[in-house]
């Protein structure tokens, strides 16, 4: 039983695990955070694979509001990617952050230059730009959410140069 289980796991790692020049990380994406910093810096064209599991609630205490990384079959104007399911796993690469200070009030606000994209439960994407990779929930009102997705992120080699 134990051996069979090990073989199954080994097979899984063989098929989906990281290969040469690849790195695997597990990121917990909290349902009530608009964005989670993965700590991963990517470059334009870099190959990144995502494998997400878990479930979140888009409204704590409402059994109808549970969803997985593919989201719930609903589209609203209250979500960053309006053509994708509400609550689905999404990503962004932040290329630049500018802090703008209002000279009059002294208030600071940040402005980001970023590329937004859909991930869902499983995806393989080429990174659109250089920058920091964030993962998030395709919903704007995240404060009343609960649960989390766990996302296996496999980053490919930074350069697309062929192997010799
Ligand atoms: Ca919500």
The model's pTM: 0.83
- Domains, the chain, in order of start with CATH, read 20-155 (2.60.120.430)
Question: pLDDT at residue 164 above 70?
Answer: no
> What's phi and psi for 13, nearest 5 deg?
-65, -35
* Distance between Cα 138 and ligand 1 center (Å): 10
98 contact partners, CB below 8 Å, separation of at least 6: 110, 111, 112, 113
Instruction: State the distance from the centre of ligand 1 to the C-alpha of 64, rounded, in angstroms.
Output: 12
- How far does the centroid of ligand 1 lie from the alpha carbon of residue 145, in Å? 5
Report the run of H or E that residue 109 belongs to, with start and end.
strand 108-118
Q: Measure 57 CA to ligand 1 centroid, in angstroms.
A: 7
Q: What is the pLDDT of residues 134-161, one digit of tens each?
A: 999 999 999 999 999 999 999 999 865 5
Tell me: the pLDDT tens digits for 82-133? 999 999 999 999 999 999 999 999 999 989 999 999 999 999 999 999 999 9
**If you measure from the C-alpha of residue 46 to the centroid of ligand 1, how many angstroms do you get, rounded to a whole number?**
32
Distance from Cα 58 to the centre of ligand 1, integer Å: 4
CA 45 from centroid of its chain's CA atoms? 17
CB of 24 within 8 A of CB of 38?
no
- Over residues 18-48, the pLDDT tens digits come to 777 899 999 999 999 999 999 999 999 999 9
Contact status, residue 152 vs residue 26, Cβ threshold 8 Å:
yes
Q: Cα of 11 to ligand 1 centre, how many Å?
A: 38
Q: Please give the distance, rounded to the nearest whole angstrom, from the Cα atom of residue 155 to the centre of ligand 1.
A: 30
Q: pLDDT at position 21, please?
A: 85
How far apart, in Å, are the Cα atoms of 17 and each of 2, 13, 44?
A: 21, 4, 22
- φ, ψ for residue 66 (rounded to 5)? -75, 145
């Amino acid at each position: 039983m134990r051996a069979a289980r090990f073989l199954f796991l080994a097979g899984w790692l063989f098929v989906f695990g990281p290969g040469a020049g690849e790195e695997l990380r597990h990121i917990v994406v909290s349902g009530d955070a608009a964005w989670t910093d993965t700590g991963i810096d990517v470059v334009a064209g870099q190959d990144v694979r995502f494998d997400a599991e878990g479930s979140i609630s888009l409204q704590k205490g409402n059994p109808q509001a549970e969803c997985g990384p593919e989201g719930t079959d609903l589209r609203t104007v209250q979500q960053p990617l309006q053509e994708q399911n509400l609550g689905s796993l999404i990503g962004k690469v932040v290329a630049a952050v500018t802090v703008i200070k209002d000279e009059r009030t002294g208030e600071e606000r940040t402005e980001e230059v970023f590329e937004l994209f859909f991930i869902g439960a499983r995806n393989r994407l080429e990174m659109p730009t250089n920058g920091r990779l964030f993962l998030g929930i395709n919903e704007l009102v995240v404060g009343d959410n609960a649960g989390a997705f766990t996302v296996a992120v496999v980053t490919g080699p930074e350069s697309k140069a062929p192997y010799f």
